[in-house]
Amino acid sequence: MDEGSSLMAEAITPRSQDFSQWYTDVVQRAGLADYTPVRGCMVIKPYGYALWENIQKALDQRFKATGHENAYFPLFIPHSFIEKEAGHVEGFSPQLAIVTHGGGEKLDEPLVVRPTSEAIIGHLYSKWIKSYRDLPVLINQWCNVVRWEMRTRLFLRTMEFLWQEGHTAHATYEEAEEEARRMLSIYADFAEKEAAIPVIQGRKSESEKFPGAFMTYTIEAMMGDRKALQSATSHNLGQNFAKAFDIQYLDQSNQLQHCWTTSWGLSTRVVGAIVMAHGDDQGLILPPRLAPIQVVIVPIHKNEDEKAQVMAVVEQIKVLLGEAIRFRVDDREGYTAGWKFNEWELRGVPLRIEIGPKDVAKEQVVLARRDVPGKEGKRFIPQAELAREVPKLLEMIQQELFERAQKFREEHTHEPKSYEEFKSAVEDGFALAFWCGDAACEKAIQEETKATNRCVPLDQSNAKSSSGKCIRCGKPANEKAIFARAY
């Protein structure tokens, strides 16, 4: 076949050549999502949805383990509710989708399609909470939300997206703060253990925080193009929403008190994070713990005789892998083995088992690691060892993906000593630098470098020793912040 034509028709844009295009290609070609006729709204295809379901499982389990329950609140919110909290309405009004008609008639009061549910949930909490004995309330919901967006990208920013939003109410500031921090650490744990993405836990600046929040916490991750992606957030809402929605309780001394509330969310955006944190020129690389298919078995045979032999061994392998491993046998006819290899690599399956006549004869299989391309990632192992080796190898891949991402982030995180160094640092990745806390300084940095303040890391062990001067204005500073170009 002459070069090119058939190969080129299959190829995705190389990551190094055009990261954005690579991302868009991979998401579609791997079967995660597709466009729809509605601007900014995507369809999450079965493979992408299976990935999301695994994300849900991993998170939901953590939420339940920390005492939270799931519930469901309505999609429509009376417009007036959104307006009750000043910061909230200001922040969200440009992004609202508003229903003005229903049943063929103009509505007396327009309904907002929820951009988030603080307002409606606040209203209900005020009904449900009367006494300190009712607290804390720890509820989560899995749902869709709508935010009108100017510029959209698959998973990263769509007008409608799926997420979970936790909403809790507490008796004291300290409890709410503890809750917000606990959920942040749960997100961090999820990101690192399940998605194999190292994250920085931090506090958002005044200008970056959630509309209506007292304090916003974030986990920030570095993508393969060295840009930052906020992967989840957790808010200590103080008493802002409690006051706006009259969420009050009688304390033990019969005094009426406002609650302290929190909210926290993680969206389908993390699917994009997984794509961009781990993928390569061949396509997706999924972390084994979240991969819809952890192991793909590719039988190889030339004739019916061989097929019978190979498939008999495949049956044995299926038993060896057992219930715990998510595997698929790719026994499709009419595709060559090589074609299948490429296909499953594009789709990011962490581990491949190749089994052909030669392996049957030697009672072995070929194990190929997705994260280690080519021959280097292949090894022969005796069939008898599969039950032991496969889980071990999946665990190893999980760990090494994390370590690779962490090393990458470290290599592209700098601690500039001057503003000049700072400028080149944010060209390369993250800059960790003293910042005076002034919003004007933050804004100037953004205008001058295109880098935004991602967060003030909770872990300031880096900052303790040095005396602090703001990287831009030189005024005294007692904290370091992460600056980076961001999604």
Partner RNA sequence: CGGAGAGUAGCGCAGAGGCUAGCGCGCUUGGUUUGGGACCAAGAGGUCGCCGGUUCAAAUCCGGCCUCUCCGACCA
> What residues between 444 and 473 interact with RNA by CB under 7 A?
446, 450
The kind and range of the H/E element at 181 are helix 173-189
The one among 15, 23, 228, 471 contacting RNA by CB under 7 A: 23
Query: Does residue 47 touch RNA according to CB under 7 A?
Result: no
In angstroms, what CA-CA distances link 46 with 33, 34, 188?
8, 11, 26
Query: Does residue 63 touch RNA according to CB under 7 A?
Result: no
Nearest approach in angstroms of CB 343 to RNA is: 4
CA–CA–CA angle 327, 328, 332 (5° rounding): 165
Nearest approach in angstroms of CB 337 to RNA is: 3
The one among 74, 338, 382, 474 contacting RNA by CB under 7 A: 338
Within 10 angstroms of residue 437's Cβ, the number of other Cβ atoms is 18
The one among 30, 159, 386, 436 contacting RNA by CB under 7 A: 159
- Using CB under 7 A, which residues numbered 75 to 134 contact RNA? 91, 94-95
**What does the buried/exposed string (b/e) look like for 243-272 if buried means 16 or more CB atoms within 10 Å of the residue's CB?**
ebbebbbeeeeeeebbbbbbbbbbbbbbbb
- Sequence-distant (6+) residues with CB within 8 A of 319 are none
Nearest approach in angstroms of CB 389 to RNA is: 15
Q: How many residues does the chain have?
A: 487
Applying CB under 7 A, the span of 35-43, 96-104, 400-408, 453-461 interacting with RNA comes to 35-43
User: What is the spatial distance between Cα 337 and Cα 26, in angstroms, rounded to a whole number?
Assistant: 21
Nearest approach in angstroms of CB 253 to RNA is: 38
Task: Tell me the pairing of strands 256-258 and 248-250.
Answer: antiparallel
Q: Are 194 and 219 in contact (CB under 8 A)?
A: no
Query: Does residue 202 touch RNA according to CB under 7 A?
Result: no
CA–CA–CA angle 220, 157, 44 (5° rounding): 110
Query: Does residue 59 touch RNA according to CB under 7 A?
Result: no
The one among 31, 78, 357, 391 contacting RNA by CB under 7 A: 357
Query: Does residue 329 touch RNA according to CB under 7 A?
Result: no
The one among 73, 142, 341, 408 contacting RNA by CB under 7 A: 341
Q: Are 214 and 238 in contact (CB under 8 A)?
A: yes
Nearer CB in complex with RNA: 77/463: 77
User: What is the spatial distance between Cα 41 and Cα 18, in angstroms, rounded to a whole number?
Assistant: 23
- Using CB under 7 A, which residues numbered 293 to 322 contact RNA? 300-303, 307
Query: Does residue 141 touch RNA according to CB under 7 A?
Result: no
Query: Does residue 16 touch RNA according to CB under 7 A?
Result: no
- Sequence-distant (6+) residues with CB within 8 A of 447 are none
Query: Does residue 392 touch RNA according to CB under 7 A?
Result: no
Nearer CB in complex with RNA: 343/389: 343
- Using CB under 7 A, which residues numbered 266 to 285 contact RNA? 267-269, 282
Nearer CB in complex with RNA: 185/309: 309
- Using CB under 7 A, which residues numbered 234 to 263 contact RNA? none
